[in-house]
Amino acid sequence: MKRLGILVSGRGSNFEAIARNIATGQLDAEVAVVISNRAEARCLDTALARGLNAVCLPSKGLDREVYDRTLAAELHRHGVDLVCLAGFMRLLSAGFIREFPDRILNIHPSLLPSFPGLDAQHQALAHAVKITGCTVHFVDQHLDAGPIVIQAAVPVLDLDTVETLSARILTQEHRIYSEAIGIVIAGKYRVQGRRVLLT
């Protein structure tokens, strides 16, 4: 059974969706550890309540390379096969990415390459697009830029606020993240340049 290491910084609803899908047998994997870089992250309690390993590794004030080495060591200690960023609000160093080659996924609340970075839903509203969505992609050294595994489109409605749009996108995030993890851990894909081909 493949072991997931889930990195979070806050609410953790994507983590919860993954944990739920594992519990109901829809996703064949196990959560080896949930790591938060913020002590107050709500999902650490959720993880503990589910009987999972939950670790807080505060990152504030630490040098990126030093922090990332500690983070990688913790993930290796738990025998993690695939690292899943789920609202982890930090850039990862090249050294960290090399530790887990093609084994780091991220979820982003827009149809990349539109609206990378922070506040993607706000960016979509500000640009007044009619359709946005979410993207699960492999993590490389560039922000929100690695090969795309799955995307889901979400309509933007005239009366949307950041909150209503974010909620509509989040429903799709919860669906496609587990789907993408399932594909990757089953090895049912091949990366050809930027393209992730499902096999």
Q: Does 133 help bind ligand GRF (rule: CB under 6 A)?
A: no
> Among 108, 146, 172, 196, which residue sits at the site for ligand GRF (rule: CB under 6 A)?
108
Q: Does 146 bind ligand GRF (CB under 6 A)?
A: no
Region of 61-69, 93-101, 107-115, 191-199 interacting with ligand GRF (CB under 6 A)? 107-115
Question: Rounded to the nearest whole angstrom, what is the least distance from the CB of residue 48 to ligand GRF in the complex?
Answer: 16
- Output the CA torsion 83→89→90→92 (10° steps): 30
DSSP string, 41-104: -HHHHHHHHTT--EEE---TT--HHHHHHHHHHHHHHTT-SEEEESS--SPPPHHHHHHSTT-E
Give the three-class secondary structure for 7.
strand
Residue 111 beta carbon to ligand GRF: minimum distance, rounded to whole angstroms: 12
Distance in Å, CB of 61 to ligand GRF, minimum: 23
Q: Letter for the amino acid at 157?
A: L
Please give the residue ranges that form the binding site for ligand GRF (CB under 6 A).
Answer: 8, 10-14, 86-87, 107-109, 173
